[in-house]
Amino acid sequence: MPTLTARERPAKERPAKQRPTKRSGFTITRKQNLIGWGFLIPAALLIFAMSFLPMFQALIISLRTGRGANMNFADPLWMNYERLLSDSVFKLTMQNTVIYLVIQVPIMLITALVLANLLNSRRLRLKGFWRTAIFLPCAVSLVSYSMVFRTMFSNDGLVNDVLVGVGILDTPVHWLNETGTARFVIIVGLLWRWTGYNMVFYLAGLQSIDPSTLEAAKVDGAGPIRTFWSVTVPQLRPMILLTVIMSTNGTLQLFDESFNLTNGGPSNTSMTMSHYLYELSFRNAPNFGYAAAISYVILILVAVLALIQMRVGDRRG
Amino acid sequence: MADMTVPTGSALLDTLPSPANGQRRRKRRRSAASRWRQVPGYVFLSLAAAASLFPLYFMVVSATNTSRDVLDSRLLPGSNLLANLESLTAGQNLVGALRNSAIIAVLTTVLALIVCSVAGYGFEVFHTKAKDRLMAVLLMAMMIPFAATMIPLFQMFAEVGLFNSWWAVILPAISTPFLILLFRQSARSFPHEILDAARIDGLSELAIFVRIFMPTMRATYAAAAVITFMAAWNNFMWPKVILLTPDAQTMPMLISNLIAGYVTDYGALMLAVLLASLPTMVIFLLLQRAFAEGITGAVK
């Protein structure tokens, strides 16, 4: 299983570390092997107890109905999943989440890529300032920035004051109370918060690109834009794949913005899947079985999209 | 994606002065041309920096203004900072929330750094086929959305009576595949000669880790600390689920509560947001260089 071992170090380097212990090689290697397990066990146990075990428990819960101590297996077993198909709120939250994903992630990643490329230029002045300024939004919590945007986009807030003052708008827009604009504000917020974060990953990737490939492109007469798309971007492919998977994963789990910035409104049209799951689990009459079924839809979406992205990333690479 | 954008690139290429065209011109002209070519870059960077910084400026200024002034889009510092602080502490347990957030974030960061760096080092230095396989399994946990584990975790912590406990927030955040991967990748650049020499000198494996690996990997630790502290300090959904009493609430929960009423005091709200943001911003600014180094080191 070459894909599972995930190691690239050539085998010839490995015997070196065992050489000094050659005389009693077997026992010492074995002892080291055991010590190695000792190093891994705490982390591995925690991940099993806090991620894998609950994940399987959630699957079982998703097959059950009832409350509290009166949870029984549903009849038929897939009842909760069947109910999803006719739940218009669920479909709406799924649609909202997909809209955020499809619009926001590409804009963000392309912007981050362009910014990283500009910052990587040797002749650029004030490099540190640009990098810090663009990354700084990442230091603000999701709840905090949601509140800042909520304030700026409130009915008599800054954005309306400026747009009406400049004459772009005649009357204030109720940004957070209309479907299209509420989604728009969430997307703008996400772009603001996460573009710099992805830029840092691209910057790190750019620094490991061999400058001679860029020189070669220059010698061959390629301009900066051509060099960027044909030489830089292909070499950044692993990093682009990583950021695409991270952003997809993050977007499918959006909660804080939906909860704090728009509170899912108006009438659930900006609510995300995770937000709906929270409402079902911990508001009014909790329904853990049904909520767990929704959590499995999110899980499957994340896994399927990651698999597709990895396959596409591999084939191009 | 690349296929679609290449034509755009070559179309734009024709409109730009390429190095080949300028080769015969004098050096001075060429450097002037290349300076002009940088202008769009500077414009784009300026716009991005302004867009990034403005909401932060708005946050800082609004924390010193009255709610009325915030809505009237006053963009200059005001004199209402203390009054905002008073109205914030009157309605909420601000000190308690800051303390809870700080304890949770610091404990999470310290424990996560220890557990994950030990594991990352172990996966790299003592690697065997079985351990590589375990790593592959652990990496799959990166794909598990928190929503899919939240309900069972809630029941689990409820069973052992850890409602309202810091540990219920800390325990699920200690061991993350991302951090283990970060440390394993940077352990790759750790020279095996040093390991061998230390072993010949009779140092125990743990001593090698503590006395040699940890000090040389300072940049990786800084990057991991920034990432973990920010995530722990800013965590919202899980604390909101498991911390039920007002005394146990964290800063993000407090902020979220400020908009619960019919009338929102925007000055006090922006002050709370500012107070919640200061620690993470200061930590990022202090560790910024090491953070970038740590990420880059892990990528190479």
B195-201: average pLDDT: 89
What b/e string do you get for A83-114 counting C-beta neighbours within 10 Å, with b at 16 or more?
bbeebeebebbbebbeebbeebbeebbebbbb
A226-254: average pLDDT: 90
A59-71: average pLDDT: 85
| Chain A residues lying within 8 Å of B284, measured CB to CB | 135-136, 138-139
Nearest CA in chain A to B112: A43
pLDDT at A22: 45
A288-299: average pLDDT: 94
Interface test with chain A among B34, B54, B144, by most A beta carbons within 10 Å: B144
Nearest to B223 by CA among B279, B117, B294, B173: B294
**B70/A151 Cβ within 8 A:** yes
| Chain B residues lying within 8 Å of A40, measured CB to CB | 119, 122-123, 131, 134
Interface test with chain A among B14, B35, B60, B150, by most A beta carbons within 10 Å: B150
B32 and B148 in a single domain? The answer is no
Task: With respect to residue A26, please indicate whether it lies within any of the assigned structural domains.
Answer: no
Q: Residues A129-175: pLDDT tens digits?
A: 999 999 999 999 999 999 999 999 999 899 999 999 999 988 999 99
**B52/A141 Cβ within 8 A:** no
| Chain B residues lying within 8 Å of A57, measured CB to CB | 152, 155-156
- Alpha-carbon Rg for chain B, nearest whole angstrom, is 26
CATH number of the domain residue B111 falls in: 1.10.3720.10
CB distance A132 to B288 below 8 Å: yes
B39 and B119 in a single domain? The answer is no
B10 and B150 in a single domain? The answer is no
Q: Work out the mean pLDDT of chain A and round it to a whole number.
A: 87
ipTM: 0.85
Instruction: Say what percent of chain B tops pLDDT 90.
Output: 63
pLDDT at B3: 36
The model's confidence at residue B300, banded by pLDDT at 50, 70 and 90, is low
Report which listed range, A61-65, A100-104, A237-241, B162-166, is most confident. Answer: A100-104
B64-70: average pLDDT: 92
Which residue's structure tokens are 């920034």? B226
The model's confidence at residue A10, banded by pLDDT at 50, 70 and 90, is very low
Q: Give the per-residue SS3 of A252-294.
A: HCCCHHHHHHHCCCCCCCCCCHHHHHHHHHHCCCCCHHHHHHH
**B284/A135 Cβ within 8 A:** yes
Whether the CB of A222 is below 8 Å from some CB of chain B: the reply is: yes
Token code pair at residue B174: 């200690």
Task: With respect to residue B239, please indicate whether it lies within any of the assigned structural domains.
Answer: yes
pLDDT at B20: 45
Task: With respect to residue A310, please indicate whether it lies within any of the assigned structural domains.
Answer: yes
Q: What's the farthest any 2 CA atoms get from each other in chain A?
A: 87
Q: How many domains does chain A have?
A: 1
Q: Residues B138-153: pLDDT tens digits?
A: 999 988 999 999 999 9
B9 and B151 in a single domain? The answer is no
Task: With respect to residue B187, please indicate whether it lies within any of the assigned structural domains.
Answer: yes
Alpha-carbon span B300 to B289, nearest angstrom: 17
The model's confidence at residue A16, banded by pLDDT at 50, 70 and 90, is very low
pLDDT at B193: 87
Nearest CA in chain B to A7: B132
Which residue's structure tokens are 């994940």? A55
Task: With respect to residue B127, please indicate whether it lies within any of the assigned structural domains.
Answer: yes
Q: How far is A220 from chain B (nearest CA, A)?
A: 9
The model's confidence at residue B288, banded by pLDDT at 50, 70 and 90, is confident
Whether the CB of A6 is below 8 Å from some CB of chain B: the reply is: yes
Task: With respect to residue A148, please indicate whether it lies within any of the assigned structural domains.
Answer: yes
pLDDT at A31: 84
Task: With respect to residue B36, please indicate whether it lies within any of the assigned structural domains.
Answer: yes
Task: With respect to residue A19, please indicate whether it lies within any of the assigned structural domains.
Answer: no
Task: With respect to residue B133, please indicate whether it lies within any of the assigned structural domains.
Answer: yes
> Which range of residues forms the domain containing residue A230?
85-316
The model's confidence at residue B22, banded by pLDDT at 50, 70 and 90, is very low
Whether the CB of A95 is below 8 Å from some CB of chain B: the reply is: no
Q: Work out the mean pLDDT of chain B and round it to a whole number.
A: 86
B127 and B275 in a single domain? The answer is yes
Task: With respect to residue A54, please indicate whether it lies within any of the assigned structural domains.
Answer: no
B292 and B199 in a single domain? The answer is yes
CATH number of the domain residue A281 falls in: 1.10.3720.10
Nearest to B152 by CA among A93, A202, A60, A160: A60
pLDDT at B40: 87
**A230/B145 Cβ within 8 A:** no
DSSP helix/strand/coil, A173:
coil
Q: How far is B46 from chain A (nearest CA, A)?
A: 8
B254-278: average pLDDT: 92
A204 phi, psi to nearest 5 deg: -60, -40
For A58, which of B135, B151, B270 is closest by C-beta distance?
B151
Nearest CA in chain A to B115: A43
pLDDT at A18: 47
Q: How far is B204 from chain A (nearest CA, A)?
A: 10
| pLDDT reading at B105 higher than 50 | yes
Alpha-carbon span A133 to A112, nearest angstrom: 13
Instruction: Say what percent of chain A tops pLDDT 70.
Output: 90
CB distance B150 to A295 below 8 Å: yes
Q: How far is B185 from chain A (nearest CA, A)?
A: 10
Task: With respect to residue A60, please indicate whether it lies within any of the assigned structural domains.
Answer: no
Task: With respect to residue A259, please indicate whether it lies within any of the assigned structural domains.
Answer: yes
**B53/A144 Cβ within 8 A:** no
**A192/B51 Cβ within 8 A:** yes
Q: Which segment of A147-156, A196-205, B28-37, B82-91 scores lowest on mean pLDDT? A: B28-37
Q: Give the per-residue SS3 of A95-116.
A: HHHHHHHHHHHHHHHHHHHHHH
**B295/A143 Cβ within 8 A:** no
**B252/A223 Cβ within 8 A:** no
Q: Residues A241-261: pLDDT tens digits?
A: 989 999 999 999 999 999 999
Q: Which segment of A12-16, A253-257, B296-300 scores lowest on mean pLDDT? A: A12-16
- Alpha-carbon Rg for chain A, nearest whole angstrom, is 25
B44 and B89 in a single domain? The answer is no
**A208/B48 Cβ within 8 A:** no
Task: With respect to residue B194, please indicate whether it lies within any of the assigned structural domains.
Answer: yes
Task: With respect to residue A294, please indicate whether it lies within any of the assigned structural domains.
Answer: yes
Q: Which segment of A28-42, A80-94, B151-165 scores lowest on mean pLDDT? A: A28-42
pLDDT at A26: 59
| Chain A residues lying within 8 Å of B56, measured CB to CB | 136-137, 140
Token code pair at residue B4: 């679609």
| pLDDT reading at A19 higher than 60 | no
Q: Residues A30-48: pLDDT tens digits?
A: 888 889 999 999 999 999 9
Q: How many domains does chain B have?
A: 2
The helix (H) or strand (E) run that includes residue A176 is none
What b/e string do you get for A280-304 counting C-beta neighbours within 10 Å, with b at 16 or more?
bbbeeebbbbbbbbbbbbbbebbee
> Which range of residues forms the domain containing residue B233?
84-299
Task: With respect to residue B69, please indicate whether it lies within any of the assigned structural domains.
Answer: no
| pLDDT reading at B180 higher than 50 | yes
Q: Give the per-residue SS3 of chain B.
A: CHHHHHHHHHHHHHHCCCHHHHCCCCHHHHHHHHHHHHHHHHHHHHHHHHHHHHHHHHHHHHCCCCHHHHHCCCCCCCCCHHHHHHHHHHHCCHHHHHHHHHHHHHHHHHHHHHHHHHHHHHHHHCCCHHHHHHHHHHHHHHHCCCHHHHHHHHHHHHHCCCCCCHHHHHHHHHCCHHHHHHHHHHHCCCCHHHHHHHHHCCCCHHHHHHHHHHHHCHHHHHHHHHHHHHHHHHCCHHHHHHCCCHHHCCHHHHHHHCCCCCCCCHHHHHHHHHHHHHHHHHHHHHHHHHHHHHHHHHHC
B211 and B119 in a single domain? The answer is yes
Is the backbone of residue A87 left (phi > 0), alpha (psi -120 to 50) or beta? beta
| pLDDT reading at B208 higher than 70 | yes
The model's confidence at residue A115, banded by pLDDT at 50, 70 and 90, is very high
Interface test with chain B among A17, A141, A290, by most B beta carbons within 10 Å: A141
Task: With respect to residue B7, please indicate whether it lies within any of the assigned structural domains.
Answer: yes
| pLDDT reading at B8 higher than 60 | no
| Chain A residues lying within 8 Å of B149, measured CB to CB | 50-51, 54-55, 58, 295
CB distance A312 to A267 below 8 Å: no
Is the backbone of residue B252 left (phi > 0), alpha (psi -120 to 50) or beta? alpha
**A140/B139 Cβ within 8 A:** no
B238 and B104 in a single domain? The answer is yes
Number of A to B CB contacts under 8 A, please give it.
332
The model's confidence at residue A317, banded by pLDDT at 50, 70 and 90, is very low
Nearest to B166 by CA among B92, B117, B111: B111
Q: How far is CA B64 from the centre of its chain?
A: 27
